[in-house]
């Protein structure tokens, strides 16, 4: 019995010593366990859990970081296109966007007709189930809003393209 008690006390002592940690102070951005009287005025005692500090490299100066970023962008941008090719691309983009806008406007008209100012015609399965009808009305309203948002986005993209491009 005494051997079990002695072993238990030994394990308890080991656990307690493993959990014990020196006091840790934070002095600005530095952490330390030894503080002189002069430093103690500017340092705070950290309570609680363990602290891990990972040493890293210092960031480069701001001007060199900007220069390296701009040189990386110019190097990765690839070869430039000539003006005629760019105009052709812009024209193609404008045609595609105009086509998408036309489709979205047609879809909007179709949705508005079906929505019928918030009172669409009831379908056969909705005559007995009012909730199904209300769900369809809510879905139509959401589709109208989503489609209107899509049209606004296409219009913004069209405005971004260079002006004066003739359509084919």
Q: What is the pTM of this model?
A: 0.49
What are the Cα distances from residue 79, in Å, to 75, 82, 88, 92?
Answer: 9, 10, 17, 20
30 bridge partner residues: 27
Per-residue pLDDT at 17: 47
Task: Identify whether 146 is part of a domain.
Answer: yes
Task: Identify whether 69 is part of a domain.
Answer: no
Task: Identify whether 62 is part of a domain.
Answer: no
For residue 69, the surrounding DSSP H or E stretch is: helix 62-76
Task: Identify whether 88 is part of a domain.
Answer: no
Q: How far apart are CA 11 and CA 8, in angstroms?
A: 5
Beta strands at 24-27 and 44-46: parallel, antiparallel or unpaired: antiparallel
Q: How far apart are CA 19 and CA 79, in angstroms?
A: 62
Q: Residue 133 in 3-state DSSP?
A: helix
Can you list the residues of the chain whose pLDDT is less than 70? 1-22, 48-51, 53, 60-78, 164-168
Predicted confidence (pLDDT) per residue in 48-96, tens digit: 656 676 777 777 665 555 555 555 555 556 678 898 999 999 999 999 9
Per-residue pLDDT at 34: 80
Task: Identify whether 30 is part of a domain.
Answer: yes
Cβ atoms of 100 and 154 closer than 8 Å: yes
Structural domain containing residue 44? 22-52
How many domains, the chain?
A: 2
Q: What letter would DSSP give residue 163?
A: T
Q: How far apart are CA 143 and CA 107, in angstroms?
A: 10
Task: Identify whether 92 is part of a domain.
Answer: no
Task: Identify whether 66 is part of a domain.
Answer: no
Task: Identify whether 139 is part of a domain.
Answer: yes
| Conformation bin of residue 83: beta by default, left when phi > 0, alpha when psi is -120 to 50 | alpha
């Amino acid at each position: 019995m005494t051997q079990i008690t002695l072993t238990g006390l030994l394990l308890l002592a080991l656990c307690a010593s493993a959990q014990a940690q020196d006091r840790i102070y934070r002095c600005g951005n530095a952490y330390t366990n030894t503080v002189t009287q002069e430093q103690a005025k500017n340092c705070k005692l950290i309570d609680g859990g363990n602290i891990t500090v990972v040493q890293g490299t210092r960031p480069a100066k701001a001007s060199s970081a900007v220069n390296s970023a701009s040189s990386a962008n110019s190097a990765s941008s690839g070869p430039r296109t000539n003006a005629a090719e760019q105009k052709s691309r812009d024209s193609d983009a404008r045609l595609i966007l105009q086509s998408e806008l036309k489709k979205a406007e047609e879809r909007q008209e179709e949705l508005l007709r079906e929505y019928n100012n918030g009172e669409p015609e009831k379908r056969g399965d909705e005559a007995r189930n009012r909730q199904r009808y209300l769900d369809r009305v809510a879905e139509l309203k959401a589709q109208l809003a989503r489609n209107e948002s899509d049209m606004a986005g296409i219009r913004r993209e069209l405005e971004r393209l260079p002006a004066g491009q003739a359509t084919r």
